[in-house]
Amino acid sequence: MDLWACPAVVTGAASGLGAETARYLAEAGAKVAVIDIDA
């Protein structure tokens, strides 16, 4: 998937599914903002 420069906001990104989603989007080229209460 090519997401070059697409913005993404991932909540719950400190661990688990949120962390994996953020990592996947970043590796696909998205500009990712990660948000978590424990981050």
Among 33, 4, 5, 37, residue whose Cα is nearest residue 21? 33
Domain extent listing, the chain: 1-39
**In the chain, which ranges are continuous DSSP H helix?**
16-27
Q: Which tens digit of pLDDT belongs to each residue from 2-27?
A: 888 899 999 999 999 999 999 999 99
pLDDT at 2: 81
**Phi and psi of 37, rounded to 5°?**
-70, -25
User: Strand locations in 1-39, DSSP E?
Assistant: 7-11, 31-35
